[in-house]
Chain A
Amino acid sequence: MSEKVIEMTGTILSVKNLSKHFIIKNNVFSQKKIINAVNDISFDILPNESMGLIGESGSGKSTTANLVLRLLEPTRGEIMLFGKNIADINYKEMRILRKDIQIIFQHTFSALDPKMTVDELLKEPLIIHNIVPVQELDKEVDRLLNMVGLPAGEKIKFPQQLSGGQNQRVIIARAIATRPKIIVCDEPVSSLDVSVQGQILNLLIKLKEELNLTYLFISHDLKVVRLMCEKTAVMHEGKIVEIGKSSEVLFNPKHEYTRKLLDAEL
């Protein structure tokens, strides 16, 4: 009942009974092995209510991120993006909807084509989704770079000429280029240096407010989730074991596994 109400009031992303099974077959003779990477999970993300997804590696959080972006094909379940089920639409339809849901990657160096300049990288989403007229492309690229705090002069550079933090800014600029409502952040700072992590998190917080963004924030770092998200879901072995307000889940956990995670913090 309560879920219905939320949907009426306009969830951004609503996931229902989503599952992803991988079938592993090592060789001809071995038995098929089914891995339930994501097993029947449901959650809703409301506007301005960023959700953190925590768990160990292998708990299915990255798979979930890839599923809601349709970078992986779900085995079953619904993924409602603004009330439209994107779980079973084709590649072409999804391509157009990608404008509204974007992703920020963990590995800053491998998520950008190493042989494209920053300028080319940023123009790509603008051209694909026809965000601005062609003659304003350069202006828009400068504006995006400014928003993520990169000097406009950096746009002639290639990713490997930039530092990890700068690359992450390019990735973020690329993600916000299409004016998405929701951005999936897949461990956005875990590959960055301690001294730079803060810059990126500050930037994400700033953009969240300025652009009215909602994040699905995947991290193994509980502190970061505490900071970024209003809501937290804990995943364990493909299932969401606990979901609720961050203040509840991360300070007063109900589930045994969540407690274990909190205890393990250094």
Chain B
Amino acid sequence: MKKPLIKVKDLKVSFYNNNKAVEVIRGFDIDVWEGEIVGILGESGSGKTVSSTSILHMMEKNEGIITSGEILYNKKDLATLSEKQMNTIRGRKIAYVFQNPAQALSPYKKIGRQFKNLLKNHNLKYSSAAVQSALEEVGIKDAETVLNMYPFQLSGGQNQRIMIALSIITKPDLLIADEPTSSIDTSLIKKVLDLFRDINKKYNMSMIIITHDFNVAKYICNRLVIMYGGLVVETGDINSILNNPLHPYTEELIKCAYSLDNYKDSLYSLEGAPPTPYEFKDECPFYSRCKIREDECRQAIPYMKEIEGRQVRCLKR
């Protein structure tokens, strides 16, 4: 019944800074099935944004380079495609919703013009009815007026919705949303997430939601990929991860996230900070903060184990 839509295998990405290559993504694996919402969860610097942008070759200033791994989509390896070939996929087959509307919306063009340009780029016909229905779908009522406005005339929430509308108008197979809730108000988070879920249901559109917030993941995702130190450390379906985390990092993170709810003397927190790409070593990335660490964890980067249909990168499990 369900088919895998995209399969990323052992993706590695390096960035160049002053002639020095820095490996930012050391191992990124993800499977997205049709109609599924997968969350990528991690802290800042874990590599969650880079790994998802590298699927579409959208690394900043072309400084990032995929050094190995494959991205299988529709019988093609996206990792090896040229820029020109990628243009036919980017936005058309796989859409990307940026964290910040300013990144995606051109400030000098009316909303309607932005729709026209997008459709023209993908050789699709512009029909105002389709655009209006897309806008209505994301919850913008007065579509006609909005099409004649500039981004700065609209609120952050409205711009967020327009970005989503822009992403879904081409009916892509996969929608990647980078922290879709971080730049909007608490009171709107639920609505935006509901919107994503509605779209998912309606078009059976697969989604990758990048977030750092367990609550968001819990609310919308079917499956979760936890990243730490440029590596995927755990994958599995959302409920089993939340109820029974396998990786010590996941466990600690969940404790932190929910310690506000059951506060006693102090908040639970992890000491130390996650490693930055400059500090990456060939050892378990969580070694320095781990409570169940042993010397063998320092020997090499642990491999991915499969436990009860879930995967975890920890020697101790």
Tell whether, in the assembled complex, residue B271 and residue A199 are in contact, meaning their CB atoms are under 8 Å apart: yes
| Interface mask (A217-237 → B, CB under 8 Å = 1, otherwise 0) | 000111110110000000000
Residues in chain B within 8 A of chain A (CB atoms): 43-44, 155-156, 185-190, 212-216, 218-219, 252-253, 256-257, 259-261, 263, 266-271, 273-274, 276
In Å, the complex CA distance between A163 and B276 comes to 9
Chain A residues whose CB sits within 8 angstroms of the CB of B261 once the complex forms? 223
What are 15 of the A-B contact pairs (CB < 8 Å)? A56-B186, A194-B257, A195-B252, A196-B43, A197-B267, A198-B256, A198-B267, A198-B269, A202-B267, A205-B266, A220-B185, A223-B261, A226-B260, A261-B187, A266-B213
Q: With A164-B44, A194-B257, A266-B215 in contact, do A56 and B270 touch (Cβ < 8 Å)?
A: no
Distance from B193 Cβ to chain A, minimum over Cβ atoms (Å): 8
In Å, the complex CA distance between A265 and B218 comes to 13
Q: With A196-B270, A198-B269, A264-B186 in contact, do A227 and B256 touch (Cβ < 8 Å)?
A: no
Chain A residues whose CB sits within 8 angstroms of the CB of B213 once the complex forms? 194, 266
Q: When A and B form their complex, which 9 residue pairs have the shortest distance between CB atoms, in order from nearest?
A: A198-B269, A266-B215, A193-B43, A198-B267, A163-B273, A195-B270, A56-B185, A223-B260, A264-B187
Chain A residues whose CB sits within 8 angstroms of the CB of B190 once the complex forms? 264, 266
Chain B residues whose CB sits within 8 angstroms of the CB of A224 once the complex forms? 260
Tell whether, in the assembled complex, residue B186 and residue A193 are in contact, meaning their CB atoms are under 8 Å apart: no
Choose among B185, B219, B256 the residue that contacts A194 (Cβ–Cβ < 8 A): B256
Chain A residues whose CB sits within 8 angstroms of the CB of B259 once the complex forms? 198
In Å, the complex CA distance between A195 and B257 comes to 7
Tell me if A188 is interfacial: C-beta within 8 Å of chain B: no
Q: Which residue of A lies closest to B261 (CB)?
A: A223
In Å, the complex CA distance between A261 and B187 comes to 6
Distance from A67 Cβ to chain B, minimum over Cβ atoms (Å): 21
Chain B interface SS verdict (over half): loop
8 more A-B residue pairs beyond the given contacts A205-B267, A264-B188, with a C-beta to C-beta distance below 8 A: A58-B155, A193-B44, A194-B214, A194-B257, A198-B269, A199-B269, A227-B260, A266-B216
Tell whether, in the assembled complex, residue B270 and residue A266 are in contact, meaning their CB atoms are under 8 Å apart: no
Distance from A156 Cβ to chain B, minimum over Cβ atoms (Å): 18
Chain B residues whose CB sits within 8 angstroms of the CB of A201 once the complex forms? 267, 269
| Interface mask (A114-158 → B, CB under 8 Å = 1, otherwise 0) | 000000000000000000000000000000000000000000000
Chain B residues whose CB sits within 8 angstroms of the CB of A197 once the complex forms? 256, 267, 269
Chain A residues whose CB sits within 8 angstroms of the CB of B186 once the complex forms? 56, 220-222, 261, 264-265
Chain B residues whose CB sits within 8 angstroms of the CB of A165 once the complex forms? 273
Distance from B279 Cβ to chain A, minimum over Cβ atoms (Å): 11
Distance from B71 Cβ to chain A, minimum over Cβ atoms (Å): 27
Chain B residues whose CB sits within 8 angstroms of the CB of A194 once the complex forms? 43, 212-214, 253, 256-257
Tell whether, in the assembled complex, residue A195 and residue B269 are in contact, meaning their CB atoms are under 8 Å apart: yes
| Interface mask (A53-65 → B, CB under 8 Å = 1, otherwise 0) | 0001110000000
Tell me if A92 is interfacial: C-beta within 8 Å of chain B: no
In Å, the complex CA distance between A202 and B269 comes to 9
Tell me if A166 is interfacial: C-beta within 8 Å of chain B: yes
Tell whether, in the assembled complex, residue B216 and residue A196 are in contact, meaning their CB atoms are under 8 Å apart: no
Chain A residues whose CB sits within 8 angstroms of the CB of B274 once the complex forms? 163, 193, 195
Distance from B107 Cβ to chain A, minimum over Cβ atoms (Å): 13
Most-contacted residue by chain B among A196, A205, A221 (CB, 10 A): A196
